[in-house]
Chain A
Amino acid sequence: MTSYELVVSVNTAIAVLMLVSTIVVASLIAVEEVENAKVAELALARFEDVVLHAAAEAPLVVELDLAEIVFRPVEVEVNGSVVAVRVRGLFAEALKYSKLPSYLTFNYTGLLPPRSLLHFVRVGGVVVVNVEGER
């Protein structure tokens, strides 16, 4: 093999590998994006399910562990009657949010602690949720 052929074959190999790795990384990003979106949707649905069921039974105290909501680490942020779930990944992150029904509101703004106690209290026709971080 001449040195010219060697250079050409090495360059070709590098180009092919770069092409393949670009496709691989792009696929991984796309797949992770989809996965995070699904996990966020699932976590939001399950969190809403827990909260709305508990609101129907108020007054009630619920011990909430975010690790039990979904199998991936998620961040749940609440602000009044808006809930947002964020899932962070290596390449992509997903954010899903929803507005709770008008009869339910959180007396809390910010990220929920990973483990917390949610106190559901009925005030008039509205259920207010007080959040207490578990020590």
Chain B
Amino acid sequence: MYRLLAEIACTLLLVLMIASIYARQVSITSLMVSEIDVSLVRFVSRSRLFNVVLSVDELWRVVEVYEESFSDSLSLKLLPALNLTLAPTPGGIRVYVRGWSGSVTPFVNVSVSRMRGCSLLEYREGFAELGYADLGVGYDPSDIYMVFACIERLYTFSLLAPENLVRHWYEWESGLVKNESRVERAFLLVPHYRAPVEANFTVVGGALDVEEEPGTVAYLLEVNGVCVLVPRLPVPYESPTLKPRELFKYLVCDLEGVGYTLAVEVGG
């Protein structure tokens, strides 16, 4: 009798112990899953992505925070609000306007500036009713194209240039253009204007302090007779790793009172 009771007691004890371990493990399962959200929440808080309107500095800070602390756990894309692409056709380039999901964005005003060197070669504007517009601008892969799209108050742009003409010389912390060679002339690219605008600049400790117009998205600098493109915004930015999308939102980058809409995608 006593042996039977002792066996029952031992069995109950074992069952209780196993059940307690199981209960503990079940209780932490939700916490295991929450790790992904923590990274995203921390990134959004630290980079101030909860704001809708960001200045140039704040936009660069998003990239800096990402590269410093979250490049292992998250992926980041900073893109124009619309997917603006050019396709060469026999009659000139066709501008495609799509959302990033691939859907057609109708009734978009589009303009294209084609630049060779620092001067405007062609400018056309039109209306993309059903996702594309044939503007009849010639295509040469060595030229710089600035595509500007607007729907009501939504403005967005895309700069397309050969890689050998792009220089990442803009220092967002000081607002200066870092440059060790001699710059002869500086031009501003403002999507609201048709052509590049020549700008005054001063040299401050080996860097250029360019007098920007509101809405300047890039500089065209003439260096030793060659014109190079210096983007002012970290757009487009794509991290090397790609993860499932956790956050997609539109934000407005304010450039001295002119706002351009961008899309940000964070994966985790």
On A, residues with C-beta under 8 Å from B are: 13, 17, 20-21, 24, 27-28, 31-32, 34-35, 38-39, 41-42, 45-46, 48-49, 52-53, 56, 101
A41 contacts across to B, CB distance below 8 A: 35, 38
Residue B41 contacts which of A28, A35, A45 (CB distance < 8 angstroms)?
Answer: A45
| Shortest distance between the CB of A98 and any CB in chain B (Å) | 8
Query: Counting chain B CB atoms within 10 Å of each CB, which of A34, A38, A39, A53 scores highest?
Result: A38
Q: Closest chain B residue to A32 by CB distance?
A: B24
Residue B48 contacts which of A13, A28, A31, A56 (CB distance < 8 angstroms)?
Answer: A56
| Shortest distance between the CB of A69 and any CB in chain B (Å) | 13
Give the segment of B14-22, B82-90, B192-200, B202-210 that binds chain A.
B14-22
**Complex Cα distance A17/B51, Å?**
58
Overall SS of chain A's interface: helix
Residue A21 contacts which of B17, B24, B31, B46 (CB distance < 8 angstroms)?
Answer: B17
The answer to whether B35 and A38 touch across the interface, beta carbons within 8 angstroms, is yes
B31 contacts across to A, CB distance below 8 A: 35, 38-39, 42
How many chain B residues touch A (CB < 8 A): the figure is: 22
Residue B38 contacts which of A32, A45, A52, A56 (CB distance < 8 angstroms)?
Answer: A45
The answer to whether A52 and B48 touch across the interface, beta carbons within 8 angstroms, is yes
Q: Closest chain A residue to B34 by CB distance?
A: A42
Question: What total count of A-B pairs have CB within 8 Å?
Answer: 56
Q: Can you name 5 A-B residue pairings with CB atoms under 8 Å?
A: A24-B17, A27-B24, A45-B38, A45-B45, A53-B45
Beta-carbon contacts under 8 Å, B34-53 to A: 34-35, 38, 41-42, 45-46, 48, 50-51
The answer to whether A45 and B25 touch across the interface, beta carbons within 8 angstroms, is no
**Complex Cα distance A20/B17, Å?**
9
On B, residues with C-beta under 8 Å from A are: 10, 13-14, 17, 20-21, 24-25, 27-28, 31-32, 34-35, 38, 41-42, 45-46, 48, 50-51
**Complex Cα distance A39/B21, Å?**
18
Q: Closest chain B residue to A1 by CB distance?
A: B3
Residue A48 contacts which of B10, B13, B42 (CB distance < 8 angstroms)?
Answer: B42
The answer to whether B25 and A31 touch across the interface, beta carbons within 8 angstroms, is yes
Residue B21 contacts which of A13, A24, A38, A49 (CB distance < 8 angstroms)?
Answer: A24
The answer to whether A101 and B46 touch across the interface, beta carbons within 8 angstroms, is yes
| Shortest distance between the CB of B106 and any CB in chain A (Å) | 36
The 10 lowest CB-CB distance pairs between A and B, nearest first, are: A38-B31, A52-B45, A45-B38, A35-B28, A31-B24, A49-B45, A24-B17, A45-B42, A27-B21, A45-B41
| Shortest distance between the CB of B199 and any CB in chain A (Å) | 28
| Shortest distance between the CB of A12 and any CB in chain B (Å) | 12
The answer to whether A38 and B34 touch across the interface, beta carbons within 8 angstroms, is yes
B34 contacts across to A, CB distance below 8 A: 38, 42
**Complex Cα distance A110/B91, Å?**
71
